[in-house]
């Protein structure tokens, strides 16, 4: 199980379901729950949120180019960090060969995709 905070559960439901494509499980006054493969994601209701300057949640993907394209079609803008040398879609190739792309959810949480 993993957690990510949100100040608006209805907005989070729409984003993680319709944009990211996770499987919606339930909405309670305290959390919006999704299935992501074998992992449960609980988007937890918070009154205030200060987004962190690092990745708080990420997914391993088999084809990062396809996933980036799919999310871009749904309006996701990928982050570009100065000096990283990312490609035109915001994908960075790490020294070990992993390919990583970062994006924000509506609360400003930094999310990532990684292809090993």
- 3-state DSSP call for residue 18? helix
Quick one: pLDDT at residue 75? 97
pTM across the whole model: 0.95
Contact 22, 41 (CB under 8 A): yes
Q: How confident is the model at residue 92 (pLDDT cuts 50, 70, 90)?
A: very high
pLDDT tens digits along 42-86: 999 999 999 999 999 999 999 999 999 999 999 999 999 999 999
Q: Which CATH class is domain 50-116?
A: alpha beta
CA distance 56 to 22: 17
Q: Which CATH superfamily is domain 1-48 in?
A: 2,3-Dihydroxybiphenyl 1,2-Dioxygenase, domain 1 (3.10.180.10)
Quick one: pLDDT at residue 34? 98
For the segment 1-17, the average pLDDT, to the nearest whole number, is: 98
For the purposes of burial, counting CB atoms within 10 Å of the CB of 22, is it exposed (0-12), middle (13-18) or buried (19 or more)? buried
Give the start-to-end residue ranges of the domains of the chain: 1-48, 50-116
């Amino acid at each position: 199980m993993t957690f990510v905070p949100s100040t608006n559960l209805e907005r989070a439901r729409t984003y993680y379901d319709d944009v990211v494509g996770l499987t919606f499980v339930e909405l309670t006054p305290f959390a919006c729950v999704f299935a992501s493969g074998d992992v449960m994601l609980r988007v937890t209701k918070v009154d205030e949120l200060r987004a962190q300057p690092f990745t708080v949640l990420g997914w391993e993907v088999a084809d990062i180019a396809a996933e980036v394209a799919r999310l871009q079609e749904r309006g996701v803008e990928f982050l570009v960090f100065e000096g990283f040398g990312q490609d035109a879609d915001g994908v960075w190739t790490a020294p070990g060969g992993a390919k990583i792309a970062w994006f924000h959810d509506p609360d400003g949480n930094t999310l990532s995709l990684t292809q090993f």
